[in-house]
Amino acid sequence: MEKLIAAVLAGSVCVASAALAAPFEGTWATDAEQCRVGPTSDSRFVIKGSRWSGYETSCRITSVKTRGNEHVLSRTCTSEEEPFKDRVTLRMNGEDSLTSVGGELAGQRLIRCGAKPAAVRPGTAGRPDKLIHIWDEADGICRGSGGERAMKGCELREEVGPLITAQGWCLGKLHEATVQYRWHRCTKDSNRM
């Protein structure tokens, strides 16, 4: 009887957690312009439930393993009618930003398309959201492209960072790994730009 109760409870926990949206579900792109371009952009993808869809790529997510803010997705895909299987790690950099490790957008920092301004979320009053958004987009361009475009993205990121810090907001703390970085009110152990 105890085993039956444990099995029923375990099943109800699985059903309850499956009903909750994963933090990586949504529409993601390298920058706001790619969000506006829509489904024809190769720098944009949508994750909904067990589906991952992008330009000329359609995948079924077969498993998800979560370690902290990293989610390892095993996928079975078709791209330009060619089937393949792979694993992609999505590292959440906050609610509306992630870095793709592997897959078609490997190494790129992505933003959530249509994200609500962070100022409406608890704990973000006074946050310079427009500057943070510009920094996030510039960081994605700096890390995700090459040549002159990347240089311009890096330069913009270096210009905007000190403006954000001057308003009392920092990204990450000195003792944290990069994957743990979050925008927060600066403290004495915060990274300053």
Cα 102 to Cα 70: distance, rounded to the nearest angstrom: 13
Query: What pTM value is reported for the model?
Result: 0.52
167, burial (CB in 10 Å: exposed 0-12, middle 13-18, buried 19+): middle
Q: Are 89 and 99 in contact (CB under 8 A)?
A: no
What is the rounded (10 degree) CA torsion for 28, 114, 121, 17? -50
Are the C-beta atoms of 1 and 9 separated by less than 8 Å? Answer: no
pLDDT at 16: 35
Q: For position 116, what pLDDT does the model report?
A: 61
Phi, then psi, of 50 in degrees rounded to 5: -100, 15
Written as tens digits, the pLDDT of the chain (193 aa) is: 344 334 433 443 333 334 457 889 999 988 888 888 777 777 888 999 999 998 888 999 999 999 888 899 999 999 888 999 999 999 888 888 888 877 667 778 888 988 765 444 445 567 788 888 888 888 888 877 678 888 888 888 898 888 888 888 999 899 888 878 888 889 999 988 8
**Residue 76: what pLDDT?**
95
